[in-house]
């Protein structure tokens, strides 16, 4: 095992310490979910279900229920 942290590890720590507590908790939960998803079998859905989900997403977009990249970037800056 390598004792020294990799460049990526150091960058992760550098950004992590800048987060507030709720953001840290959220990130840790997301990281846990990544690890858990690796151990779970892949759940396949039917092409019909896939198409339904796409149709529902397109309907939401048609109603304006989406976030633009610009809005997301603006929201991130307030963190």
Interval 8-45: pLDDT, tens: 889 999 999 999 999 999 999 999 888 876 566 767 88
- Per-residue burial over 36-66, b if 16 or more Cβ lie within 10 Å, else e, is eeeeeeeeeeeeeeeeeeeeeeeeeeeeeee
* The two structure tokens encoding residue 4: 């020294």
* The two structure tokens encoding residue 25: 């908790």
Say how far apart CA 24 and CA 27 lie, in whole Å. 5
pTM above 0.75, yes or no: no
């Amino acid at each position: 095992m390598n004792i020294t942290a990799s460049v990526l590890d150091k960058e992760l720590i550098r950004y992590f310490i800048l987060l507030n507590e709720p953001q840290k908790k959220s990130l840790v939960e997301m990281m846990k979910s990544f690890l858990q998803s690796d151990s779970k079998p892949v759940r396949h859905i039917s092409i019909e279900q896939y198409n339904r989900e796409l149709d529902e997403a397109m309907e939401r977009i048609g109603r304006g229920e989406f976030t633009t990249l610009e809005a997301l970037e603006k929201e991130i800056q307030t963190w």
